Amino acid sequence: MNATPWVAALFYTLHWAIQLAFIARGLLRPHREPASRIAWVVIILAVPVLGILAYLLFGEVNIGRRRLARMRAVLAQMPEMADVAGMDAANRRAEVPERYAHLFRVGHSIGGFEPVGGNRARLLPDSNATIDALVTDIDAARDHVHLLFYIWLPDRNGCRVAEALKHAAARGVTCRAMADDLGSRLMIHSEHWSAMSQAGVRLAQALPIGNPLRRALTGRIDLRNHRKIVVIDDGITYCGSQNCADPEFRIKAKYAPWVDAMMRFEGPVARQNQYLFASDWMVHVDDGIDALLRRPLPVFPPGLPAQVVGTGPTVRYSAMPEMFEALMYTARHELVISTPYYVPDESMQGALCASARRGVATTLIVPARNDSWVVGAASRSYYGDLLAAGVRIFEYVGGLLHAKSLTLDGEVALIGSANLDRRSFELNYENNILFHDPALTAELRQRQDRYIAASKPVTAQAVVGWTRRRQLWNNAIAMLGPVL
């Protein structure tokens, strides 16, 4: 008897059983948009082997069981969010106008931090000035320096910070520095990393990859720590878009200069960034620093109210989109956003369009040349609907506009590491600061005007004039958004 038909039938049945199993898994996964479910079903059916492999690598937001367990254990030993501030009533007061109070309630629902008053802040002039200020603060540190960057390069600015940390450690300051294992691989594998360790700087690699094949089986490799956090002596913190590198950004020099926005804060909001750093640090290092969060802080003089909003794949689903959309729907007069990566979900695209339709002067500033051709094409697929709704779009031509900023009605602003794309929404750990202060918001708004002045406006006529081939390309790439 010929067994070949039976073998073929068994193979065929097994093939379909595996396909159906992965389709069912994709359909049953929580927190997934219908478009994403449909896209994965189509991919698995169209190219079964590659589709299943792609689903294993990118289909689920999975950081790995061991890492998740470690994170939960670390968070369990940290103090309650309400006690993190470590302040008396004078510092807890944050005078936020009632019309904006709901925004800070959204922020509180995400990370548990209340808005705190008593903060001072300044917008730093440019990337090199940011490093100058950071090195000065490290040189003046008395107790500790905590630093976390997604990208830390062994270039001029990256080495300046490394040298400052070495000098601080030599004079007895406790220095802890963490860098993402993928984004900062050049620094981590350089002589400067080992030199810092030998000088007494305590180092850690965020989300280490190790063996890529093994890591792919236990969790997604592309879940990254995209945060930019600096905390010095529990009272100074930095927040914004800048990595620890030269603006020439030698790893992608053809897009340079990188144009960033970074703020230096003094006050109790630094304690909230300290919490984020501690939670990241303790997951990777057996170095319990949660006691720092219980130290009493001094009473700071009156200052602006601010709140840290930290998000990530192990934080509540849709947290960052909710924050952005709340800001968009709150706007009554003006809304200006700069971001290098605009790949929204449907609800965010709708929120931005709705802002313009109700008469709000709505502006989106993005780079003309994007370092990611995928994001560049996907972003442009949304232009037509945005322009039809009345959103003004500007493409920055003076380099890669990397600043992530949002100003609202000249009074409220959000600055930080999060982009308006699905990677920041679902895959990256991000940190942002929401604040209310007309003067500081006006300063950030002026910076946004500088971006606009160095941009070319995108017109509806130009978009309509795109070739069919270009439109097809942009829309086809945008279809991958729900998958990735």
CA-based nearest residue to 407, from 339, 335, 340? 335
CA-based nearest residue to 426, from 348, 337, 317? 317
Q: Give the C-alpha separation, 119 to 435, whole Å.
A: 10
Query: Helix, strand, or coil here: 135?
Result: helix
Top mean pLDDT of 1-5, 46-50, 251-255, 475-479 is at: 251-255
Q: Which residue has the higher pLDDT, 230 or 472?
A: 230
Mean pLDDT, residues 465-476 taken together: 89
Q: Give the C-alpha separation, 192 to 188, whole Å.
A: 8
Whether the Cβ atoms of residue 360 and residue 384 lie closer than 8 Å to each other: no
Q: Which residue has the higher pLDDT, 18 or 416?
A: 416
% residues pLDDT > 90 (the chain): 68
pLDDT at 340 over 90: yes
Whether the Cβ atoms of residue 235 and residue 270 lie closer than 8 Å to each other: yes
Beta carbons within 8 Å of 73's beta carbon, 6+ residues apart: none
Positions marked active-site: 226, 228, 233, 402, 404, 409
Q: Give the C-alpha separation, 150 to 474, whole Å.
A: 28
pLDDT given for residue 232 in this prediction: 98
In the chain, how many H helices and how many E strands? 21, 19
pLDDT band at 484 (very low <50, low <70, confident <90, very high): low
Q: Encode pLDDT of 140-182 as tens digits.
A: 999 999 999 999 999 999 999 999 999 999 999 999 999 999 9
The amino acid present at 356, given as its one-letter code, is A
pLDDT given for residue 65 in this prediction: 82
Question: pTM for this structure?
Answer: 0.92
pLDDT given for residue 180 in this prediction: 97
pLDDT band at 3 (very low <50, low <70, confident <90, very high): low
% residues pLDDT > 70 (the chain): 94
Q: How far is CA 451 from CA 116, 283, 376, 421, in A?
A: 30, 38, 18, 20
pLDDT band at 90 (very low <50, low <70, confident <90, very high): very low
Q: Token pair 């180092």 is at which residue?
A: 203
Burial 200-239 (b: 16+ CB within 10 A, else e): ebbbbbbbeeeeeeeebeebbbebbbbbbbbbbebbbbbb
CA angle, 355 as apex, 353 and 359 as ends, to 5°? Answer: 115
pLDDT given for residue 9 in this prediction: 76
Over its C-alpha atoms, the chain yields an Rg (Å, rounded) of 23
pLDDT given for residue 92 in this prediction: 58
> Phi and psi at residue 80, in whole multiples of 5°?
-60, 145
Q: How far is CA 66 from CA 63, 70, 73, 180, 215, in A?
A: 9, 6, 11, 18, 12
pLDDT given for residue 10 in this prediction: 74
